[in-house]
Amino acid sequence: IQSQAELASILKTQPRSLILQHFHTTAEDYTIIFTSGCTAALKLVAEAFPWIPEGTKQPSSRFCYLTDSHTSVVGMRGITASMNVLSVPIKPKEILLSEKNRLPAEEQNCTTPHLFSYPAQSNFSGTKYPLSWIQDIKSGKLCPIKIPGKWFVLLDAASYVSSSPLDLGVHQADFIPISFYKIFGFPTGLGALLVNNRIAPLLRKTYFGGGTAAAYLAGEDFYLPRKSIAERFEDGTVSFLDIIALKHGFEVLEKLTGGMEKIKQHTFTLAHYTYTVLSTLKYANGAPVVRIYSDTDFSSPDVQGPIINFNVLDENGEVIGFSQVDKMASLYNIHVRTGCFCNTGACQMHLGISNEDIQRNLQAGHVCGDDIDLVDGRPTGSVRISFGYMSSFEDAQSFLKFIIATRLSKSDTEIPFQSSSTKLTTESDPDDHPSFNSADKLSPIPRISDTELGNNSTATKTTVNWQPPEAEVESIRSAVSETAVPTYRRGGKPITVTNIYLYPIKSCSAFEVTEWPVGNQGLLYDRNWMVVNQNGVCMTQKQEPRLCLVNPSIDLKQNIMVIQAEGMEPISVSLEENPGKEAVVCESKVCSHRVKTYDCGERIAGWFSMFLGRPCRLIRQSSDMKKKSHQKNIKGMFSFLKIFVIPHLVNIRLMDFMLKELIQRFRANIVISAPESFEEEEWAEISIGALRFQVVGPCSRCQIICIDQQSGERNKEFLQSLSAARGRKTNFGIYLMNQPLRSSLPDILSVGSQVLPVLKENTEIQPPTSSEEKCSG
């Protein structure tokens, strides 16, 4: 019989031995400290390193790091700054010239500890930095900066060890942080710091948690740490169940692949092949299809890892935003990473982004991790693909076929191929916008021409010939802006509302009306409900296309919402709120913030579960949340997919679809007739009757428009055609935010109402003189 402590010790000992063996070292040279991940390991080093601060009698320490480093490495400078230790960024080319910083013999006896950190492999570009730097820096052959002292080396190996062998018996760095899920894909939330035993006794520890103390007194300042470095720094209960899994990870890795050297060769071969084909793709005019960001020519796995970083270009050499590339890739079941990959230094270096550009992009609203991919036409990030030990040659070919299919005309071209004779074809989801009728929500308006309307008998159910009195129109126009002018075109024809749709249940079918109340939160009952899975996560048509076959309708007289679907008995839900079972929906990309909701009950949950064939529930947003949001002066938003003149785009294949189907796919709240293509993108605000709206921005589309709203079937050609037609963006329509006016008119939005736009400053819309000019927009 073994005690729990003894069993835990055994379970932790065997995985430690496997880790040391994997990195070709022993417990005599290295100690393994388990952490929650690579970031936690880096933080531990920053806190425990024996820094000597500024202002003491001894020479002070320096923390130097390569600018091509992960955010978690750069973030160590926050801790060093709090300790009054200076941090110095070093560019890669500077370290190659650092031999000139070598100190004379008389200054080499200083023992002040300095730390230099660099990645074994750039997570941005896959560049492998020389492991020989470790010994060169520790011996003084290379000096990051010219200062007396003793250099220690932190080797960020997180990216490197996922596909390359690391021999710590040869390359004896002082600190090596790693993350296991980057090696096996599991377990997440577990990393380790390998500490060279020669530096381990110098590490400092201030906080002591459970399991790290040999003895301490609660009533006096007495504490004795455990002798084992690992036990001293592993505060609290380590994730021993995940640690046990490491044994299986190493065994499977060896069994499937034959070891890290074979993984290195396999993944590099895939990357080299993909790089070679990708770099040869050309448009008919000879312009490259992609711009690859790399410091190597992918000639050797010793200097280049299995990472390819790039941006897609159009035939004029302009960058196509990474968010659009990501959306298109998802149609082909390809997952890519986009942005700056938590490596701003490498991103700036390769994309030519200055410090001033970073500040300007921030002012323009761009922050790390968002989908703002272009600012003033310049990229804020890029696209990255990586190969792992499970990647195959078919995966590489699938990716190349995706690039060819979406950028070149011969989508069935054999690869590798030389595209000297191919020509470029000119070929997001409204539910992806922050919606669910929250106080911060944006809600989506496609646009159709007067000619299209005349040929489409199903565009509206009934036309309400309601127009505000002319005096009222003038007062509204003045209230909106002194520069407000109706954008009359083609003989003075006004712009009018042709269709109104609301979507009571998010991602379900539209409910068309001829007039509808509008409040601070947008259209009444629009996106008030949503379907969630058994984990409480919102379901959209991306995950469950059959949601489009659910038809909700609102009956204001009976105060119910009726839900129908083929093969199912209709079911009704009261419009009266009855939050008997409250639930909290956590922050997500769908809601963009925490939303208080309540469950609509077992009966309706059973109906949806039966129709969709999976456990799910219907929840509704609580009106209390809306009131609290309004009291905080957060104005309600609702987005309209704005007007889009389809006949003007003679080179877009969307013309193959019926107008009604187009409207259904773009899931508009409002459809407006207007004579010119995309002129709504030059509007700053509009008024419709007594209602006024501020234009928030364009609506960028994703794969939901590829779903046939009548059948639930996908057709990726739809998004590809829109992407080709719009150039570097998949914008279609605009978002609006309501700005209520003081008016005697009711807040009712009606079909047939006139739209009065206000142009952006310094904007003038000129009617095109030919159909060719019309489709150039």
- Between the alpha carbon of residue 38 and those of residues 156, 174, 189, 246, 741, the distances in Å are 9, 15, 9, 16, 54
DSSP string, 435-475: -TT-TT--B---EE-HHHHHT-TTS-S--------HHHHHH
Sheet-wide strand order for 30-35: 30-35, 191-196, 175-179, 150-156, 113-119, 62-66, 86-90
Tell me the C-alpha distance between 195 and 25, whole Å: 12
- Between the alpha carbon of residue 509 and those of residues 254, 437, 563, the distances in Å are 50, 16, 10
Written as one letter, the residue type at 93 is: K
Exposure string (b/e) for 351-381, b if CB count within 10 Å is 16 or more? bebeeebbeebeeeebeeeebbbbbeeebbb
Tell me if 742 sits within 8 A of 469, measured CB to CB: no
Determine phi and psi for 397, rounding to 5 degrees.
-65, -40
Tell me the C-alpha distance between 711 and 702, whole Å: 18
Catalytic pick among 342, 508, 538, 600: 342
Is 616 one of the catalytic residues?
Answer: no
Tell me if 693 sits within 8 A of 685, measured CB to CB: yes
DSSP string, 94-145: HHHTGGGGPPPGGGTT---EEEEEEESB-TTT-BBPPTHHHHHHHHTSS-SS
In eight-state DSSP terms, residue 556 is: T
Residue closest to 100 by CA, chosen among 150, 143, 153? 143
- Between the alpha carbon of residue 577 and those of residues 249, 439, 440, 525, 564, the distances in Å are 51, 18, 21, 12, 21
Written as one letter, the residue type at 610 is: M
CA-based max dimension of the chain? 94
The DSSP bridge partners found for residue 496 are 673, 754
Token couple for 243: 């640690």
Angle between helices 717-726 and 322-331 (to 10 degrees): 160
Tell me the C-alpha distance between 367 and 352, whole Å: 18
Tell me the C-alpha distance between 191 and 172, whole Å: 19
Tell me the C-alpha distance between 565 and 600, whole Å: 18
Which residue is listed with tokens 């009261």?
574
Exposure string (b/e) for 153-179, b if CB count within 10 Å is 16 or more? bbbbbbbbbbbbebebeebbbbbbbbb
Tell me the C-alpha distance between 650 and 679, whole Å: 17
Residue 447 CB contacts under 8 Å (≥ 6 apart), including other chains: 642, 643, 644, 645, 671, 672, 673, 674, 680, 733
**What radius of gyration do the chain's Cα atoms show?**
31
Determine phi and psi for 440, rounding to 5 degrees.
-95, 5
Token couple for 663: 């409207």
| Cα-Cα end-to-end distance for the chain | 78
Tell me the C-alpha distance between 644 and 678, whole Å: 6
Determine phi and psi for 94, rounding to 5 degrees.
-75, -35
Residue closest to 163 by CA, chosen among 341, 387, 395? 387
- The catalytic residues are 342
